[in-house]
Amino acid sequence: MTEPDSLGEWQPDRNLAMELVRATEAAAMRSTPWIGRGDKLAADGAAVDAMRRFLSTVNMRGTVVIGEGEKDDAPWLYNGEVVGNGEGAECDVAVDPIDGTRLTAEGRPGALSVIAVADRGSMYDPSAVFYMDKLVCGPIGVGVVDIRRPIGENIRALARAKRVDVSDIRVAVLDRPRHEQLISEIRAAGAGTRLLMDGDVAGGVNAARWDSNIDLCVGIGGTPEGIITACAVKALGGVIQGRLWPKDDEERQRALDAGHDLDRVLEANDLVASDNCYFVATGITDAEFVDGVKRNGPFVRAESIVMRAHSGTIRHVTSDMDPNRWS
């Protein structure tokens, strides 16, 4: 059941996140037979199908604003698709049935199934600019780090705030050719790197968590993943900053035509305007903050994390399911 806010508008209910976790569990469970089998399209297809079927039971009137269609040429969970059972609040829905399809296909750690939900119209529209230069860290970085400054300055400032040596700072970066100079600058500053094969969302969430081994996540990654990460960062009280990074002249012109200021630094409230937002993730393979799906005697165990920004609540959910009766 939903409750009206002070303006009389209907908001997503606090129980929504616990319904959403069934959809991420479903996607994680259905993708596990494909772990390590080298077929990321099959893994993603299984996850998309399972997530979509379970989302149809959730008490909301959701519109997918960050989906699979445009970036993966998928027939389901595309931008603009209506999801939910048609009751409850109107919501923006961002999905990534597998954040880390290559990690899943190769049997590597860090793959997640992710959903973020916020009030309708509150998620940022990047106008098909698929990449963003991002900086993410935890609450101690508020007012300390700034994406406009050189990475070395940010590392030293964060080390001072944490009262640790620069050599103790660990920075997560996607392992891509475009980041060769950035990685060199991080190491030249005296910090260590944690190079990510994939897993843009997991890297950002790890950097925002107070109990993580990652202090900072930087570099160019997906804009949709940045918006999803912002929902988690708002619950964790951390910092996320980003600037759109068009990959070519055509995308740059499209962004300018849509009215985007490519020099503008987008903060958490720009990426997700509402504090009434949720982040839900289930591990497919082991990640730092959730384990992957595992056989546990006659059951299959899935671990999830559920965050609600409005209350700052973070719940860890462990589900044991009989695969012969699970639905």
Phi, psi of 14 (to 5 degrees): -65, -25
pLDDT at residue 175 is higher than 70: yes
pLDDT at residue 276 is higher than 70: yes
pLDDT at residue 10 is higher than 50: no
pLDDT at residue 3 is higher than 90: no
**Residue 211 assigned to a binding site:** no
pLDDT at residue 306 is higher than 50: yes
Please report the pLDDT score of residue 8 as a whole number: 40
CA angle 173, 303, 276 (to 5 degrees): 75
Please report the pLDDT score of residue 297 as a whole number: 84
Percent of the chain with pLDDT over 90: 80
Question: Rounded to whole angstroms, how far apart are CA atoms 274 and 119?
Answer: 6
Please report the pLDDT score of residue 12 as a whole number: 53
**Residue 101 assigned to a binding site:** yes
**Residue 86 assigned to a binding site:** no
pLDDT in tens, 134-162: 999 999 999 999 999 999 999 999 999 99
By DSSP bridging, strand 216-222 and strand 170-174 are: parallel
Question: Rounded to whole angstroms, how far apart are CA atoms 74 and 108?
Answer: 24
- Average pLDDT on 102-108 reads 95
What does the domain layout of the chain look like in residue ranges?
A: 16-121+276-325, 131-271
- Average pLDDT on 180-186 reads 98
Residue with structure tokens 């969430």? 205
Q: Which residue, 2, 116, 90, 105, is CA-closest to 47? A: 105
pLDDT at residue 171 is higher than 80: yes
pLDDT band, very low/low/confident/very high, at 322 (cuts 50, 70, 90): confident
**Residue 199 assigned to a binding site:** yes
**Residue 3 assigned to a binding site:** no
Contact status, residue 281 vs residue 236, Cβ threshold 8 Å: no
Looking at domain 131-271, which of 3.40.190.90, 3.30.590.10, 3.40.50.300, 3.40.50.2300 is its CATH number?
Answer: 3.40.190.90
By DSSP bridging, strand 313-321 and strand 299-308 are: antiparallel
Task: Provide the sign of the torsion angle of the four alpha carbons 246, 251, 253, 258, taken in this order.
Answer: negative
- Average pLDDT on 14-18 reads 76
**Residue 275 assigned to a binding site:** no
**Residue 322 assigned to a binding site:** no
Tell me the CA distances in angstroms from 41 to 44, 103, 294, one per residue in order: 5, 12, 22
Mean confidence (pLDDT) of the chain:
91
pLDDT at residue 9 is higher than 50: no
pLDDT in tens, 253-262: 999 998 999 9
Helix axes 151-162, 180-188, angle to 10 degrees: 40
Please report the pLDDT score of residue 14 as a whole number: 60
**Residue 126 assigned to a binding site:** no
253: amino acid identity, one letter: Q
CA 21 to chain centre: 14
pLDDT in tens, 57-94: 999 999 999 987 555 455 578 888 999 999 988 999 99
Please report the pLDDT score of residue 6 as a whole number: 40
pLDDT at residue 47 is higher than 80: yes
Please report the pLDDT score of residue 79 as a whole number: 86
CA distance between the termini of the chain: 23
Please report the pLDDT score of residue 13 as a whole number: 60
pLDDT band, very low/low/confident/very high, at 210 (cuts 50, 70, 90): confident
**Residue 178 assigned to a binding site:** yes
pLDDT band, very low/low/confident/very high, at 323 (cuts 50, 70, 90): confident
**Residue 198 assigned to a binding site:** yes
pLDDT at residue 174 is higher than 90: yes
By DSSP bridging, strand 192-196 and strand 131-137 are: unpaired
What CATH fold (topology level) applies to the domain 16-121+276-325?
Fructose-1,6-Bisphosphatase; Chain A, domain 1 (3.30.540)
